[in-house]
Chains A and B, each alone.
Chain A
Amino acid sequence: KNQVEQSPQSLIILEGKNCTLQCNYTVSPFSNLRWYKQDTGRGPVSLTIMTFSENTKSNRRYTATLDADTKQSSLHITASQLSDSASYICVVSDPGGYNKLIFGAGTRLAVHP
């Protein structure tokens, strides 16, 4: 069964600190993996997309990694800001087509001053 599991479920860090969120998936064959940021009560917004051939991709203070062999991805946030408080959702493309995606349950990050 295609699944996406994220850890930790929740995380609290102090402003200015770094953190790393994990995503493990069993989806096969693999098309791509996206990280979304979802502010409370809002719709998710894409942060980055990782394809099979990409190992690392950075977007401002966010760095995503992908290990297609172990089926793992991580999202590293550098120098966290209060505005980083949100849920971060890992989404893997299902081979079923038409953008049918497998969503992780998300990691809820709280950045405290």
Chain B
Amino acid sequence: SQTIHQWPATLVQPVGSPLSLECTVEGTSNPNLYWYRQAAGRGLQLLFYSVGIGQISSEVPQNLSASRPQDRQFILSSKKLLLSDSGFYLCAWSGQGETGELFFGEGSRLTVL
């Protein structure tokens, strides 16, 4: 069966420090991978998605970047965190095709102080 792992679960970082959130998927190959951010009282916002190794699409201009060094690995990064980067980050995967179900990781709670 397929599983998705995301870590760390919680993170408290000072402003200006770097960030690295990692996500891996097991039990499937060539998945579509996504990073979402969830703000309180608002819908999930798509940050990045990837349909293959080295292929990254950014949905909104921001202080974050994403990379996909391996087929089932997706990394969310920042060189210098801002206060506004605080939030709940979710990694997700889906099979190929436009109507595939999204399978989410457990989420990472980032607090920037």
Contacts and interface: CB of A to CB of B under 8 A. Distances in A.
B12 to A, nearest CB: 15
A42 B99 contact: no
Interface residues of A, number: 25
Interface stretch (A60-68, A75-83, A100-108): A100-108
Interface string B73-91: 0000000000000001010
B94 interface: yes
A106 B39 CA distance: 11
Nearest to A45: B104
A100 B107 contact: no
Contact of A99 (B49, B104, B107): B49
A98 B43 contact: no
B92 interface: yes
Interface in A47-66: 49
A112 interface: no
Given A105-B41, A105-B42, A31 B104 contact: no
A104 B32 CA distance: 22
B43 A31 contact: no
A103 B34 CA distance: 14
A104 B97 CA distance: 22
A98 B49 contact: yes
Contact of A97 (B44, B98, B101, B107): B98
Interface of B: 6, 32, 34, 41-46, 49, 51, 57, 88, 90, 92, 94, 97-107, 109
Per CB-CB distance, the 6 closest pairs between chain A and chain B, nearest first, are: A43-B104, A103-B43, A103-B44, A105-B43, A99-B94, A46-B101
7 contacts: A42-B106, A43-B105, A89-B43, A98-B57, A99-B98, A99-B99, A101-B46
